[in-house]
Structure 1
Amino acid sequence: MARFELLGTATIPGKGTELRLLQRNDEFSIKIAGKSGELMNSRLHGSEDALATLACERIADHPAPRVLIGGLGMGFTLAAALGTLGGKAEVTVAELVPDVVEWNRGPLGLAAGYPLKDPRTKVHVGDVVQLIKDSPGHYDAILLDIDNGPEGMTRKENDWLYTAAGIAAAQAALTSEGILAYWSAGQDPTFTERIKRAGLSVEPVTVRAHRPGKGAKHVIWLAW
């Protein structure tokens, strides 16, 4: 069997944690240096797709929907959002690590079909938190795939997005009929209750990492 080859490394700003991009044939992997597990793999993106489709299907009939995605990753959530929405949509993806954007513009982009090349895509290199705080009533959907969900792996600063204040800020950045969607590697009943206390309706949806019936179980919270 072919071995993974290292294509590049990147440092997460403010943390010093190193990300490593690897390729084996047509398979890509992103790992955190010094940890044994993967952060993401190009063959396991069913739940990243679901993050986009579950939310964007609810706004697909809007004439010109505006969507914010927190976290570019391997581009699968972005590609699924673009595939669900019409030609007048605008999808902004915020990615903290500049190298991850460049990886997606390079060889890694092949995995998701180079969604950064779509004219409906806007890229913000920086923290999604600032965009949320600066955009009251702007987005029809906000999709957050930051770290591993409420239990983060790479940046303690990401925890704020899952606090009562973070949920309120995201809610304030939505239009009146907007929807929030959060991705997580696992269940978190406490987070479900926190969303309810914010005055939102919430639906936790269990999805598979690979395809229906296959792969690890992940969770998408839909809140409106």
Structure 2
Amino acid sequence: MIPFRNLAETRTPDGARFSLHEHDGEYFLKLNGRQLMGSNSTVSELLLADLACKFRCPVERPTVLIGGLGLGFSLRRVLEINGPHVLAQVSELLPEVVAWNREFLQNLNGKFLDDRRVEVLTRDVFDCIKNGAGQYDAILLDVDNGPTSFVQAKNSRIYSGKGLAMIRRALRPGGRVAFWSAEPEPLFLTSLSRAGFQAEEFEAKSHERAKRAAHRIYVGEVS
């Protein structure tokens, strides 16, 4: 059996162990030893980008905020589907994750960090949203396991009524926000609607051959 290689490790602001691993050519991010994402199961990360950027009307120069760099698959997809004039701002709380993408994941998606269309922000995505009124055509949020399962405790504010109102203000007319969730969170669909979004829930598989769609993506659109 091929062993896992521990490539790098850091601590989150809450003190949790956050680590990067490689196994048989695939890469994995773990929190306290529990896998958060892997390069062998990216269908939902790609769908997150597709749904967030599914504008009803063409946007010539979209500005897209990506909350959480991870392994870079959502970033790559945003660049692929939005063309040469997109501005993709990646908000990653942990500078180490940015460094890992450059050092260990260059041939995966790390090279896209140096794309002229990309701006890397090493800060909390909540602060980007709070200070970004009317700046974004799309916002992708993949910073937790869902609206009730947080990587760090203070992320709960993103999904609160106040947080959703901030997201709505940060979006331009016709703008869309997409939230990744590890499992169904039906009450969150109601929260999005109450915050003034046109809300939808989409099923998402972890990989193409999965028998069932375990994950969910929640989308809110500003009319």
If the TM-score is normalised by the length of the shorter chain, which range does it land in? over 0.9
CA contact (8 A) 1:72 1:93 kept: yes
Using the TM superposition, give the Cα deviation of residue 150 of structure 1 relative to its aligned residue in structure 2, in angstroms: 0.6
d(CA) in 2 for partners of 1:134, 1:59: 26
Give the aligned partner of residue 78 of structure 2.
81
For each residue in 1:134-172, what CA deviation from the matched residue of structure 2 results, as whole angstroms up to 9, or x when unmatched? 111010001111111112242010011111111100000
Residue correspondence of structure 1 range 115-194 to structure 2 within 5 A: 115-194=112-191
Residue of structure 1 equivalent to 2:193: 196
Task: Give, in whole Å, the separation in 1 of the partners of 2:212 and 2:92.
Answer: 26
3-state DSSP of counterpart to 2:44:
helix
Task: Give, in whole Å, the separation in 2 of the partners of 1:215 and 1:2.
Answer: 28
TM-score scaled by length of structure 1: 0.93
Q: Which runs of 5+ in 1 are unaligned?
A: none
Who is 1:27 aligned against? 26
CA distance in 2, matches of 1:79, 1:214: 26
- Say which SS state the counterpart of residue 44 (structure 1) adopts: coil
Report the alpha carbon displacement of residue 200 of structure 1 after superposing the two structures with TM: 1.3
Moved more, 204-213 or 104-113: 104-113
Query: For the Cα contact (< 8 Å) 1:74–1:109, is it kept in 2?
Result: no
CA–CA separation in structure 2 for the residues paired with 1:149 and 1:108: 25
SS in 2 for 1:203: strand
- The separation in 1 between residues aligned to 2:115 and 2:138, in whole angstroms, is 19
Taking structure 2 as the reference length, the TM-score comes to 0.94
Q: C-alpha distance in 2, partners of 1:75/1:86?
A: 17
1:210 aligns with 2:218: no
Pick aligned residue for 2:47 from 42, 50, 70: 50
Q: 1:84 offset after TM fit, Å? A: 0.7
Question: How far apart, in 1, do the equivalents of 2:165 and 2:107 lie?
Answer: 36
1:40-84 per-residue CA deviation (whole Å, 9 max, x = no partner) reads 111011101100011213278311000001011110111111111
For residues 87-134 of structure 1, the C-alpha deviation after alignment (integer angstroms, 9 at most, x for no partner) is 010000100011000011121232236321221110000101111011
How far the C-alpha of 1:208 sits from its partner, in A, is: 0.6
Instruction: State how far apart, in whole Å, the 1-side matches of 2:62 and 2:77 are.
Output: 15
- Separation of aligned partners in 2, 1:215 and 1:7: 31
Mapped contact 1:69–1:78 kept (Cα < 8 A): yes
Q: What is residue 10 of structure 1 aligned with on the other side?
A: 10
Structure 1 runs (4+) greater than 6 angstroms displaced: none
In 2: Cα distance, 1:17 partner to 1:119 partner: 33
Paired residue type of 1:101: V
Equivalent-residue separation in structure 1 for 2:8 and 2:110 (angstroms): 20
Residue correspondences, number: 221
Range with greater deviation from structure 2 (139-148 or 113-122): 113-122
Deviation at 1:21, TM superposition (A): 0.8
Alignment-derived partner of residue 60 in structure 2: 63
Aligned-residue CA RMSD in angstroms? 1.6
SS class of match (2:49): helix
2:192 maps to amino acid: I
Gaps of 5+ in 2: none
